[in-house]
Amino acid sequence: MTEPTAPSPVVPSVPVARLAQAFSIQLICRILGMLASVVSVMLTARYLGPGRYGQLTIAVAFIGMWASLVDLGIGRVIVRRVTSSPDDLERLVRIYNGLSLVYCIPLTLVAAGSGLLVYHDHEVRAMLVVLSCQLLIVTMLTRLEPVFLVTVRFTAVAVSDVVGRLATLGVISFLVASRADVIWFAVPQLIQTALQLLIQSRAASQRVRLRPILALREAADLLRESLFPMGVTVITVLYWRVDGVILSLLNTHSEVGVYGLASSIALNTLVLSVFFLKSTLSTATELYSRDLAAFAGFMRRSVELMYFLAVPIAVVGVLVAQPLIRLLGSQAFVSRGTPTLALLFIAVGLRFIATTLGEGLFASHSQRFWFWLSVATLTLNIVLNLALDGRLGAVGAGIALVCTELFNMTIASWWLHRQCGYHTPVLFLLRLSVPTAASVAVVLLLAGHHVIVVLAAAAVAYLAINAAIGPLTWSTMASLRPNAQPEQLTP
């Protein structure tokens, strides 16, 4: 185990006020963006139905699989380097920009060409060509991440996300109103990412110069250092897309459509964890380098916060899966979509925790272990999908995801315990069962009412009981501050 230096008072390079501001701004914008995405999914699924929605899902999943090669893991390496040498940020970002320009066009051509070889459906092939252009935009967008991660200034990121999702909603509304063919529904994906690129590029250029530098030796050094983070990133994206691709090869378009709708609903909730992790990665890295006890405490509190979000999503999600799939889709989705969505809510709840633990593995310089854990998780996922998707369809893919998420979370927790003394917050989970039980009771009492009313009432009950008796209190949130005293953070 790599030991950090001896504990010392932690003086963060990122002010607490800025960290809190980044957290709150992203929370508001992500919620608004999530709502816009949910409406977009509802309009698209209702209009297209399971079969044509399945065609769209196939194209999105296949290009999404190639998108695993967009993020080379260099962003995380830049964050870690700049933690000790802040003046290097601009040059590292410019080198990253140059590297991005070199590989984005070949990647796009290979993705489109391979899709044309694998699929023979005319509509699917047309959408594959359109969506492959998104790889160009996303590659250019990814290169900006280190600027925002290091400076912890996420206003532009959050605003661009909302604007992009609202624009997507507007275009989809127009397509539905004009009774457009399924092929046109690939276009809104490009509009969203293009707007994000424009807004974030302008904001990043105010912090650093973005003009690319083709420095081969330094780029090679970045690639070598990012080897394991890159592997983890590639595997993670493949992990979320390969199930849809396998399902498309082993089952019908309708089953893919059902799984695509359930995934869109469940995975939208993941934005709540993503923005938190992006806001705290540099803080976790800095804490590990200075104070092991503070890092362990920070990780435990971070996991507690994720449990606070994940548990009601998993538990209440199972209970409202049927009315939710009916609301956002149509009756044609209900019979197969209900058990699939219930399983995916559980998987997403587990992913909240697994992702947080994974960032802890990276911050604690355990990226080699993180890489091999990701390889094992992806392998297990592929094996389970090959075994289950042909017979069980979308439900089989959901079962595979739950099993692999549980495996990943368990192993990551064990390794972090070895590295820094991290412990799963069992007492916190026991106390969390009280507000969770209250939200479940509300869902059962309001059965038969509109699902939005039920969800709102369950959320109010959950938050109210928590505010009254915990377990997540303002003092718990305060202990996430990077300048908290070590004794406050000791697990």
- pLDDT tens per residue across span 214-229: 877 888 888 887 777 7
Phi-psi region of 425 (alpha: psi -120 to 50; beta: other; left: phi over 0): beta
More confident: 358 or 153: 358
Which stretch of 30-34, 401-405, 407-411 has the lowest confidence by average pLDDT?
30-34
The answer on pLDDT for 490 being more than 70 is no
Span 391-420, average pLDDT: 93
The answer on pLDDT for 476 being more than 90 is no
Give the separation between CA 22 and CA 460, rounded to whole angstroms. Answer: 25
Q: Render pLDDT for 288-320 as a digit per residue (tens, 0 to 9).
A: 777 777 787 788 888 888 899 999 999 999 999
More confident: 306 or 285: 306
Q: Render pLDDT for 145-202 as a digit per residue (tens, 0 to 9).
A: 778 777 656 677 888 888 999 999 999 999 999 999 999 999 998 998 999 999 988 8
Give the separation between CA 414 and CA 6, rounded to whole angstroms. Answer: 23
Give the separation between CA 192 and CA 270, rounded to whole angstroms. Answer: 18
Q: Would you say residue 8 lies in a domain?
A: no
The answer on pLDDT for 457 being more than 80 is yes
Q: What is the pLDDT of residue 484?
A: 47
The answer on pLDDT for 23 being more than 70 is no
The answer on pLDDT for 22 being more than 70 is no
Q: Would you say residue 471 lies in a domain?
A: yes
Q: Would you say residue 4 lies in a domain?
A: no
Q: How confident is the model at residue 142 (pLDDT cuts 50, 70, 90)?
A: confident
Can you give the pTM of this predicted structure?
Answer: 0.79
Q: What is the pLDDT of residue 5?
A: 38
Q: What is the pLDDT of residue 275?
A: 62
Q: Would you say residue 430 lies in a domain?
A: yes
Q: Render pLDDT for 92-112 as a digit per residue (tens, 0 to 9).
A: 888 888 888 888 889 999 999
Q: What is the pLDDT of residue 16?
A: 54
Q: Would you say residue 274 lies in a domain?
A: yes
More confident: 249 or 9: 249
The number of angstroms, rounded, from the C-alpha of 337 to the middle of its chain's C-alpha atoms is 22
Q: Would you say residue 46 lies in a domain?
A: yes
Q: Would you say residue 9 lies in a domain?
A: no
Which stretch of 164-168, 277-281, 365-369 has the lowest confidence by average pLDDT?
277-281
The number of angstroms, rounded, from the C-alpha of 379 to the middle of its chain's C-alpha atoms is 20
CA dihedral 196, 198, 202, 203 (to 10 degrees): 0
Average model confidence (pLDDT) for the chain?
84
The proportion of the chain whose per-residue pLDDT surpasses 90, expressed as a percent, equals 47
Give the separation between CA 133 and CA 123, rounded to whole angstroms. Answer: 16
H helical segments located in 291-366: 292-319, 321-328, 331-363
Give the separation between CA 403 and CA 232, rounded to whole angstroms. Answer: 19
Q: What is the pLDDT of residue 15?
A: 55
Pick from 186, 88, 193, 189: nearest CA to 139: 193
Q: Render pLDDT for 32-85 as a digit per residue (tens, 0 to 9).
A: 888 888 899 999 999 999 999 999 999 999 998 898 888 777 777 887 777 666
Q: What is the pLDDT of residue 276?
A: 66
More confident: 219 or 396: 396
Which stretch of 111-115, 146-150, 325-329 has the lowest confidence by average pLDDT?
146-150
**Please, what is the angle between helix 216-225 and helix 74-84, to 10°?**
100
Domain of 288, in residue numbers: 16-489
Q: Would you say residue 6 lies in a domain?
A: no
Joined together, the tokens standing for residue 59 give: 């194209």
Span 370-391, average pLDDT: 93
More confident: 389 or 287: 389
Joined together, the tokens standing for residue 246 give: 């396998």
Give whole-number Cα distances, 3 to 365, 366, 409, 414, in Å: 10, 12, 23, 18
The answer on pLDDT for 12 being more than 70 is no
Give the separation between CA 489 and CA 491, rounded to whole angstroms. Answer: 6
Pick from 444, 321, 340, 349: nearest CA to 398: 340
Q: What is the pLDDT of residue 469?
A: 85
Number of domains in the chain: 1
More confident: 472 or 315: 315
Q: Which long-range contacts (CB under 8 A, 24 or more apart) does 174-179 make?
A: 175/47, 176/43, 176/44, 176/47
Residues in the chain: 491
Q: Any idea which residue has 């991290």 for tokens?
A: 422
